[in-house]
Amino acid sequence: MFNKLTIQTRRLYVQLAAAAVTNSYFLAPYLKHLPCPSLNCYACPLAAFACPIGSLQHFAIVGAVPFLLLGILFLAGALVGRWACGYLCPFGLFQDLLARIRRPKLALPSWLGWGRYLSLFGVAIIVPMLTGEPWFSKLCPAGTLEAGIPYVVAGFFKLKLPGQPAQIFAMIGPLFYLKLALTAGIIAAAVFIKRPFCRFICPLGAIFGVFNRVSLLRITLDHGKFSDKADCRKVCPVDLDITKDAGSAKCVRCMQCVKCPGVSQRFG
């Protein structure tokens, strides 16, 4: 039955399962020290894994090399490139669901993708090194949705979630409102722009993207078979025309375009 489903539906099932596993609270005692290959907030009451970008900032602050983190990211990247963005990341899934809201989607210039490298080197490495604070995590919309808002709502109803800070209301201030505004902006943008956070902001996507050109999982093109290039871009969750560059760092390897003539996937 699973084989008869469209790639998009199969991918949705995998994404939902991955989001559930990543937030399986009962696994946290065994796995919370391990970074997962997706953007999932460590502070989320249900999180079973560490956030790779949170870990990266921690090591930047203490001035140490994150060998385990780099090993996990390099292994995942070398095997499948940015596939985790297409199939495993809960925040990627969240944006895909927002994109299903029927509104015209805007095409934005591709140079905005450099924002991912600014986030990675600027906000997630250099700023934490200089300030001693994990500024990407402080502003991260995934963290606001998975931890900040649930903790405040639980506090309002006098509930206590795992890991909830004792003085939760004392933490509500200008930074919290800034996070809310940024998160609301990303959510609104994701209705009109396909995966804006993944394409223009996410530092983890920047890391995985560099492996797309060399990973074992790759897309191959047969230029002689191309017929309707526009359709390839239409099915793409990141609004990419893969026929121009099969190794593009922007591709999240969802493989929805392999049904286009001339586009296929290969492993090895």
* DSSP class of 35: B
- Which residues of the shown chain bind ligand SF4 in the complex (CB under 6 A)? 38-39, 85, 89, 91-92, 197-198, 202, 204-205, 235-238, 240, 242, 251-257
| CB nearer to ligand SF4: pick between 85 and 155 | 85
Least Å distance between CB 193 and ligand SF4? 13
Cα 236 from Cα 80, distance rounded (Å)? 18
* DSSP-derived pairing of the beta strands 217-221 and 263-267: antiparallel
Q: Which is nearer to ligand SF4, 127 or 238 (CB)?
A: 238
CB of 80 to ligand SF4, least distance (A): 12
Neighbours of 155 (CB within 10 A): 19
What is the residue whose two structure tokens read 């080197």?
Answer: 121
Question: Which residue of this chain has its Cβ atom nearest to ligand SF4 in the complex?
Answer: 205
Q: Measured from the CB atom, is 155 or 255 closer to ligand SF4?
A: 255
Residue keyed to tokens 């998975």: 146
Q: How far is the CB of 167 from ligand SF4 (least distance, A)?
A: 30
Strands (E), the chain: 217-221, 263-267
Q: Give me the least distance between CB of 103 and ligand SF4, in Å please.
A: 20
Are 119 and 206 in contact by the 8 Å Cβ rule? The answer is yes
Name which of 110 and 162 has its Cβ closer to ligand SF4.
110
Residue placing its CB nearer to ligand SF4 in the complex, 123 or 257? 257
From residue 99, give the alpha-carbon distance in Å to each of 3, 93, 186, 194, 196.
Answer: 25, 10, 12, 6, 10
Smallest distance, Å, CB 261 to ligand SF4?
14
